[in-house]
């Protein structure tokens, strides 16, 4: 039986320092080599825009208090923000993200090395520990996490979590409370890098069981870990309250019932062990099926039953190491299963980053048991590890290359999921945003719009309203396609898309607003006023709607109605100088020159290029 005493005394499993450092070198080189293409990656739209490009904590005046009090990109990661800020001081930026990517790759290599030392400290032979850490280092499931700048918080949190468990094992083996305090400090730092680390106290209990300690005693469970439980509880409650708030403001199409989330979470629980062996398909985001399939509900029962059977079977064989590996996976994967109300991003492989280390430890333990019973299996196991590592490295290289630009990422996602609207829609949104950013190059802008229209058309083609809980998603795609047609000078096509969107969801205020604008451009003022009025009913506090309806009323000669609309827009606090120019024009039409000049001056003060005659 494994325990703290015999692991210290068992020299048969020890390896010379030279061999250990050779293993460390192999792991470091393998980690960097497998994901090397990620170094030349760009700053991506998904997550990186909020984390790097538009992050006020990085691009505004630095405030340590703000770093520790503000969540960015839906995550509380102040320690990772500080790391990004440090890299920024050395020249890293959204336009030059090399150091950001190098940091992720370095953190991943350090995590792999730390796993090697942890597994060895827990009694695994150094060769087996290196093999498990090697497969972790080159595993394709990590491609998105390593290549995505925003994934660095997951890696930093994982590294600190492994170091914390390492320190805790040292404490258990030496009873030096200094190591316990170091483990606690590393736990706090892990949470400050990624709140998913709040489950670490459960990992320590599993580790107590592995080490043969009286893990269920009050001394170990309460007295020793009271600070851990308090920190974990505060973090978990904070996360739950945050996600509940998101749920309250999320559209109905982006929320799921608790039963649905349990079903999808259980499916993921069973999915990732399979993907550890067969890592395909690989993508940033996996769309849930609508409605949730029956097999997913079966998983609610199957997942815990299979885990319990596996643990029971391993327990009968008195193989605590195998039990620990399975428990490690179950504990670490739990925050990423998406059972708490949140968005559907839990389908990303990023959330399985550290959890698969538990499965690899269980596999390594099982392999050691086979080799102990039959020594001839050793070269077969070494060869299998080498072949699998090479295959994994090739896949990791390829998938890291897919993460270099948004275009390659979208192409990869669409090729993996050709029947999902999501990839096409996201690609269309990307090109639409890029078109708005282009200045002074009509050819480039038009090319982005053409690409956006193609992707939105494909999204509409593969999207099916039938089977969705609500047609909001479909309506939004149609609305986006209409915007593109409006920008490319196709008003009739734009109106057709907007009308289809409104038919699906009459509450689509954006579609009403945009269709109203197309009616205005084609001088169908009555129809335009009707759409703006309907949009105002849905969004009575949006000043732009009153301004746009005022233009229609003015064009029809309804000066009184136009005046009322402009008054309302200004009372709502609009800062659009065009609204003040319109009011100046309206007052001149009404013969009030003084008021017209006053509003023209306000428009000029807001930055508008006001014609000189409007000011006199």
Measured CA to CA in angstroms, residue 565 lies from 80, 339, 344, 535 at distances of: 48, 46, 40, 14
Phi, psi of 75 (to 5 degrees): -135, 145
Is 392 strand, coil or helix?
helix
Over residues 213-238, the pLDDT tens digits come to 887 788 888 889 999 999 999 988 88
Spatial distance between the Cα atoms of 444 and 446, rounded to a whole number of angstroms: 5
Q: What is the pLDDT of residue 272?
A: 87
Range 112-136 burial, b when 16+ CB lie within 10 A, else e? bbbbbbbbbbbbbbbbbbbbbbbbb
Q: Which fold has domain 416-564?
A: 1.25.40
Under the banding of pLDDT at 50, 70 and 90, the label for residue 54 is confident
> Cα-Cα-Cα-Cα dihedral of 361, 366, 372, 376, to 10°?
-110
* pTM of the predicted structure, to 2 decimals: 0.85
pLDDT of residue 285: 61
Q: Could you tell me how far CA 186 lies from the centroid of its own chain?
A: 24
3-state secondary structure 17-29: HHHHHHHHHHHHH
| Length of the chain (residues) | 616
608, 578 Cβ separation under 8 angstroms: yes
Six token digits for residue 243: 């996600």
CA dihedral (453, 455, 457, 459) positive or negative: negative
87 and 77 in contact (C-beta within 8 Å)? no
Q: State the first-to-last Cα distance of the chain, in angstroms, to the nearest integer.
A: 95
Dist. CA 155–CA 153, nearest whole Å: 5
Under 8 Å CB-to-CB from 561, ≥6 apart: which residues? 550, 553
Structure tokens at 598: 């006053």
Kindly report, residue by residue over 300-342, the tens digit of the pLDDT. 888 888 888 888 777 666 788 999 999 999 999 988 877 765 4
Look at residue 194 and give its three-state secondary structure: coil
Dihedral over alpha carbons 140, 146, 151, 156 (to 10 degrees)? 110
**Domain locations along the chain:** 4-9+17-249+261-402, 416-564, 575-616
Confidence of residue 289 (pLDDT cuts 50, 70, 90): low
Q: Provide the token pair at 51.
A: 């984390």
The predicted structure's pLDDT at residue 423 = 85
Neighbouring C-beta atoms of residue 47, cutoff 10 Å: 22
What pLDDT, in 10s, does the model give residues 162-188? 999 999 999 999 988 999 999 999 999
Radius of gyration for the chain, computed over Cα atoms and rounded to the nearest angstrom: 29
Q: Is 72 helix (H, G, I), strand (E, B) or coil?
A: strand
Q: Which of 240-244, 286-290, 453-457 has the lowest mean pLDDT?
A: 286-290
Q: What is the pLDDT of residue 45?
A: 77
- Which residues 6+ apart lie within 8 Å of 578 measured at CB? 547, 603, 608
Sign of CA dihedral 186, 191, 194, 198: positive
Residue 152 burial class via C-beta count within 10 angstroms: exposed 0-12, middle 13-18, buried 19 and up: buried
Question: Do the beta carbons of residue 473 and residue 424 sit within 8 Å?
Answer: no
pLDDT tens digits, 335-393: 887 776 544 444 678 888 999 999 999 999 999 888 888 877 788 888 888 999 999 99
Contacts (Cβ under 8 Å, ≥6 apart) of 366: 322
Q: Within a 10 A sphere around the Cβ of 561, how many other Cβ atoms?
A: 16
Q: Judge whether residue 593 has pLDDT over 90.
A: no
Q: What's the CA gap between 305 and 574, in Å, rounded? A: 59
190, burial (CB in 10 Å: exposed 0-12, middle 13-18, buried 19+): buried
Structure tokens at 197: 């680390």
**C-alpha span between 127 and 129 (Å, rounded):** 5
More confident: 347 or 413 = 413
Instruction: Look up tokens 């430890």; give the residue.
Output: 361
The helix (run of H) or strand (run of E) holding residue 109 is helix 98-121
């Amino acid at each position: 039986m494994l325990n703290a005493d015999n692991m210290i005394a068992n020299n048969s499993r020890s390896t010379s320092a030279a061999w250990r450092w050779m293993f460390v070198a192999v792991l470091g080189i393998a980690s960097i080599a497998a994901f090397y293409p990620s170094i030349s990656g760009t700053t991506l739209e998904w997550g990186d825009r909020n984390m790097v490009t538009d992050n006020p904590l990085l691009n505004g005046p630095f405030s340590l208090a703000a770093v520790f009090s503000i969540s960015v990109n839906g995550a509380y990661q102040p320690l990772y923000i500080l790391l990004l800020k440090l890299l920024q001081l050395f020249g890293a930026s959204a336009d030059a993200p090399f150091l950001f990517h190098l940091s992720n790759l370095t953190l991943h290599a350090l995590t792999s090395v730390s796993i090697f030392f942890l597994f060895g400290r827990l009694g695994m032979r150094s060769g087996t520990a290196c093999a498990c850490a090697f497969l972790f280092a080159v595993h394709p499931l990590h491609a998105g996490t390593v290549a995505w700048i925003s994934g660095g918080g997951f890696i930093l949190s994982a590294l600190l979590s492994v170091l914390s468990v390492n320190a805790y094992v040292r404490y258990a083996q030496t009873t030096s409370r200094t190591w316990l305090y170091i483990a606690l400090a590393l736990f706090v730092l892990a949470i400050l890098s990624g709140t998913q680390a709040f489950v670490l106290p459960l990992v320590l209990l599993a580790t107590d069981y592995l080490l043969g300690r009286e893990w269920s005693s009050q001394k170990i469970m309460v007295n020793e870990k009271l600070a851990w439980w308090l920190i974990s509880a505060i973090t978990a409650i904070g996360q739950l309250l945050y996600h509940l708030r998101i749920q309250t403001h999320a559209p109905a199409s982006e929320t799921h019932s608790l039963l649905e989330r349990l079903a999808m979470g259980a499916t993921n629980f069973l999915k990732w062990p399979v993907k550890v062996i067969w890592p395909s398909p690989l993508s940033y985001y996996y769309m849930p099926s609508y409605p949730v399939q029956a097999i997913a509900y079966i998983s609610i029962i199957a997942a815990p039953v299979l885990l319990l059977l596996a643990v029971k079977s391993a327990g009968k064989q008195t193989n605590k190491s195998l039990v620990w590996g399975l428990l490690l996976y179950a504990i670490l994967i739990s925050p990423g299963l998406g059972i708490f109300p949140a968005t559907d991003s839990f389908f990303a492989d990023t959330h399985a980053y550290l959890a698969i280390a538990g499965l690899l430890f269980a596999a390594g333990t099982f392999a050691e048991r086979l080799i102990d019973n039959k020594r001839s299996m050793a070269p077969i196991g070494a060869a299998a590890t080498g072949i699998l590592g090479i295959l994994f490295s090739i896949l990791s290289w390829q998938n890291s290359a897919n993460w270099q630009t948004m275009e390659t990422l979208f192409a990869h996602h669409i090729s993996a999921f050709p029947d999902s609207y999501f990839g096409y829609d996201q690609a269309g949104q990307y090109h639409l945003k890029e078109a708005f950013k282009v200045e002074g190059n009509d050819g480039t802008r038009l090319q982005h719009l053409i690409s956006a229209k193609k992707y939105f058309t494909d999204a509409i083609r593969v999207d099916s309203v039938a089977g969705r809980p609500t047609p909001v998603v479909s309506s939004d795609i149609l609305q986006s396609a209409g915007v593109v047609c409006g920008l490319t000078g196709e008003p009739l096509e734009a109106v057709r898309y907007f009308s289809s969107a409104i038919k699906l969801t009459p509450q689509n205020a954006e579609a009403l607003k945009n269709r109203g604008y197309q009616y205005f451009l084609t001088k169908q003022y009555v129809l335009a006023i009707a759409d703006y009025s309907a949009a105002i009913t849905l969004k009575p506090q949006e000043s732009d709607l009153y301004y746009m309806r005022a233009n229609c009323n003015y064009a029809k000669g309804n000066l009184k109605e136009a005046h009322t609309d402009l008054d309302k827009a200004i009372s709502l606090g609009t800062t659009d100088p065009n609204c003040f120019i319109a009011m100046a024009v309206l007052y001149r039409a009404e013969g009030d020159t003084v008021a017209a000049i006053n509003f023209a001056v306000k428009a000029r003060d807001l930055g508008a290029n006001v014609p000189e005659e409007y000011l006199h």
